[in-house]
Amino acid sequence: MAATRLSMRKIRETLRLKWAQGLSHRQAARSCGIGRGTVSDYVLRARSAGLTCWKQVEGLSDVDLERRLFPSSLRVAGRRARPLPDWAEVHQELKRKSVTLSLLWEEYKSVQPEGYEYSRFCELYGEWSGRLAVCLRQEHKAGEKLFVDYSGQTVDVVNPSTGEAREAQVFVAVLGASSYAYAEATWTQDLQDWTDSHRRAFEFFDGVTELVIPDNLKSGVLKPCRYEPDINPTYNDLAQHYGTAVLPARVRKPRDKAKVEAGVLLVERWILACLRNRTFFSLAELNAEIRRLLDKLNSRPMQVLKLSRRELYERLDRPALKPLPAQAYVYGEWSKARVSIDYHVEIERHYYSVPYQLVKKQLDVRVRSHSVECFHKGQRVAVHVRSWFAGRHTTVREHMPKAHQAYLEWTPQRLIQWARQTGPATAGVVDAIMSSRAHPQQGFRPCLGLLRLGKTYSPLRLEAACRRALALGSTSYKTVKSILEKHLEHQPLPAKRPHTPPLDHGNIRGADYYAETHTGDAPC
């Protein structure tokens, strides 16, 4: 085998150290990082070629020196050329799980017994793969990674009624092994659009990858971290539903997301650039055109591999993708809520019951478009139909304690007795609030709020305000609070209108007149 360019430089340096510097075999070997036997071989070859001093070697080119030191390489070069494998095919096969160069070389030798040996096979593949783009040189196994991000460019969508233009964001997803791409336009980059775009991307690919690689977008990653990023709970919920894992790209590590950046660049060049002179009047119209150009992009052969992204997808990624779950993901936002003493949690100003044993516990709550789910330590403890009525209660009877008297010592009688410490008027308002609820426990929260007003405004003012509320016939927390805020508790009540007796006058017909039956024209 002919010496490589690197070895020729080392041979030339070895001969320079021996003949120009006068070093021993041991010293030359240590300086060049080779063995003493190799130094002896180089010197012996040079002397056999008639070279005895450094000046003779210095005047020769690498090709001439190689020809004189390794004359057998000429005979090797004159032999019939050995068959080369299809390097593009080798490159794609390496993306399959558990496929190695050693296995592919054995398959190559079984078909071409006169082919290259393993070391030369690896060298030639390395030279071929070195000509690929950086992002293509990354090894992405089939079905392993999906890269997602938003394009930096937006597309204007014009409201046909007002003529106002609104910017639409462009979501891009790219499969690692095949570079098969998906793109769509959404109004925002918020959490719901972000997760819905993932759902539609999985449906487009007809499967799910093992990993999803996003950039550190706020919608997906609450707090970027090199070692343990804080994933948004809703985004993590989507990943669990589809059986995948979220692995955000490292901060300031562009190679982690090179695949999607290349995909974004392709979408901008081959899709968005083509739409630059178009005017769109709806998001659906824009997405229909994006899908048409996307199909064209995925069907375009790539320059180096000579295969389209769609062909690679059918060959590599599609067979390796995990199947979609039976039900599509339904968007839901996660939050935390603490259970009040009335065993209800407040979600968007509505109150939902949970088992009374969880009073004062903090729960994880998932709010979806039609449901509210409550979780304690990962276990779902309550589920309700979502209600849009503010200030109302949704209560499940099974969540109530069997004996309210034993329920953490909180009973309507205890609240009324507590209110009597402030005054009879305060106790009367508490009793009225309790009586107005279908379940007394639904009155706990407003009664506690009422009693806390005594700490803010003093018990004397609270008692006076409750007395006024009872006189007005409006016994609610909001009424008492308003009286205190406006300092009306000591103001005189509005005078009642005196009762006016019915008038008795000859010109007044009275009710009996209209009860009679009249015929003919009405009197003038």
Partner residues linked to 393 by β-bridges: 351
Residue 390 lies in a domain: yes
CB burial readout 50-71, b (16+ within 10 A) else e: ebeebebbeebeeeebbebbbe
Regarding whether 296 and 155 lie in a shared domain, the answer is: yes
Instruction: Say yes or no to pLDDT of 254 above 50.
Output: yes
Instruction: Say yes or no to pLDDT of 85 above 50.
Output: yes
Regarding whether 199 and 262 lie in a shared domain, the answer is: yes
Q: What does the radius of gyration of the chain's CA atoms come to, in whole angstroms?
A: 42
pLDDT of residue 29: 82
pLDDT of residue 78: 44
Residue 507 lies in a domain: no
Count the domains in the chain.
5
Instruction: Give the residue with greater pLDDT, 154 vs 69.
Output: 154
Give 477-506 pLDDT, tens digit per residue.
999 999 999 999 888 876 666 655 555 555
Number of other CB atoms surrounding residue 366 within 10 Å: 19
Local structure of 53: helix, strand or coil: coil
CB 418 within 8 A of CB 411: no
Long-range residue pairs from 312-316, CB within 8 A, at least 24 positions apart, any chain: 312/92, 312/177, 312/178, 312/179, 312/180, 313/175, 313/178, 313/180, 313/205, 315/92, 315/178, 316/92, 316/95, 316/96, 316/142, 316/143, 316/177, 316/178
Regarding whether 236 and 127 lie in a shared domain, the answer is: no
Regarding whether 266 and 361 lie in a shared domain, the answer is: no
* pTM, two decimal places: 0.52
Work out the average pLDDT over 446-451: 88
Which residue type sits at 435? Answer: S
- The domain of 371 spans 332-402
Instruction: Give the residue with greater pLDDT, 178 vs 217.
Output: 178
Last residue of a domain, one of 257, 292, 320: 320
pLDDT of residue 416: 86
Regarding whether 212 and 351 lie in a shared domain, the answer is: no
How many helical (H) and strand (E) elements, i.e. helices and strands, does the chain have?
A: 22, 15
Give the CATH number, domain containing residue 167.
Answer: 3.30.420.10
Residue 458 lies in a domain: yes
Element (H, E) at 460: helix 459-472
Instruction: Give the residue with greater pLDDT, 135 vs 298.
Output: 298
